[in-house]
Amino acid sequence: MANYLVTGAAGFIASRVSELLLAAGHTVTGVDNLNDAYDVRIKEYRLNQLLPRPGFTFLRLDISQREAIDQLAAAGSFAAVINLAARAGVRQSVENPWVYVDTNVTGTLNLLELCRMQGIPKFILASTSSIYGEDAPLPTPESASSDYPLQVYAASKKGAEALCHAYHYLNGLDVTIFRYFTVYGPAPRPDMVMFRFTQWISEGRPVLLNGDGEQSRGFTYVDDIARGTILGLKPAGYEIINLGGSQVITINQLIRTLEGLIGRKAQVTRLPRHPADMSTNHANVQKAGELLGWEPVVSLEEGIARLVSWYQAERSWAADLKTT
């Protein structure tokens, strides 16, 4: 069994990765600064699921600060760094670009330096499908251009990827980069469309829809993402791998699906399309299958139903989560 450093441990994907690692008998040192990028109550909820688990240690640190790396160096030896800490969200990155560079670029640099100094052999980076921009072929392979990001969020992830390649080239660090496609599931970020619409429809609030609703997404269930991320711990040299769902739906179809599950009609308020939004995304995951034996297994219908069930079970407080 191994000891892993998981950053962003109170986050949506990292908390699930930590749970699966612990269930497999590994130990996890989880790092998070519990910032207020979105409603911190959901971060505390996820973290509270982890804290009682044997083998889990939590450190409240900000990876963008160099002194945090000194503290991590003193925390023990790690078989790998799984860097899932990030400022996420394309729209917010337009409003506050500096914090995205601090966390996603400088934070990644600090963790790569930790690997170099401590001789940690493996580094996993969470990247994003947003990196492919607007005109990518569909379904999108890893070979598609990532040279023209549309938002600071995607640009910051491109910078983090470039740093990873430099440390692989200079120091022989084994690196696997995952480009995630539109992750959803229970206890998500409350600013994500799947949660926002679930909450708004459930509570009879206006459903704010940017654009005509014909934007489409290849939504990917969080357990599939977490499972694929852990498979990436195997030696790879340097690889960039898409993880994405096989089912694509429009936002209008998503609203109709949620209406059926919740049993309530959406009160849709249409707004102009946000300039940072991509019109579609859909992953080609052939490489993940070939290198990792991975494919998505949770159907969109089952995954959405699980999210709605979670929301209904946690509605007493989830109804008040801030969605912007």
The phi, psi pair for 283, rounded to 5°, reads -85, 140
Q: Residue 145 CB: number of other CB atoms within 10 A?
A: 12
Tens-digit pLDDT profile for residues 81-134: 999 999 877 677 777 899 999 999 999 999 999 999 999 999 999 999 999 998
What residues form DSSP beta bridges with 238?
175
Residue 272 lies inside a defined structural domain of this protein: no
Secondary structure (3-state) at 5: strand
Query: What pLDDT is recorded for position 88?
Result: 78
- Answer yes or no: is 209 within a domain: no
Task: List, in order, residues 6 or more apart from 235 with CB less than 8 Å away.
Answer: 122, 174
- Token output for 271: 């707004």
Domain that holds residue 85: 3-182+221-246+278-297
pLDDT (tens digit, 9 = 90+) per residue, 41-95? 999 999 999 999 999 999 999 999 999 999 999 999 999 999 999 987 767 777 7
The count of structural domains within the chain is 1
Nearest to 257 by CA among 197, 206, 204: 197
- Residue of 4, 153, 221, 311 with catalytic role: 153
What's 243's DSSP letter? Answer: E
Task: Encode pLDDT of 168-185 as tens digits.
Answer: 999 999 999 999 999 999
pTM of the full structure: 0.97
Establish if 58 belongs to a structural domain.
yes
Task: Please indicate, yes or no, if residue 148 is contained in any of the structural domains.
Answer: yes
Do 17 and 229 meet the contact criterion of CB atoms below 8 Å apart?
Answer: yes
**Which pLDDT score is estimated for 90?**
65
Residues 6+ apart with CB under 8 A from 38: 89, 189, 190, 191, 322
153 is catalytic: yes
In a domain, 119, yes or no: yes
Cβ(244)–Cβ(307) under 8 Å?
no
Closest CA to 160 of 102, 210, 245, 77: 102
| 302 within some domain | no
* CATH number of the domain residue 148 falls in: 3.40.50.720
60 lies in some domain: yes
Sign of CA pseudo-dihedral 89, 87, 40, 44: positive
Q: Is residue 52 part of a domain?
A: yes
Could you tell me what percent of the chain has a pLDDT over 90? 92
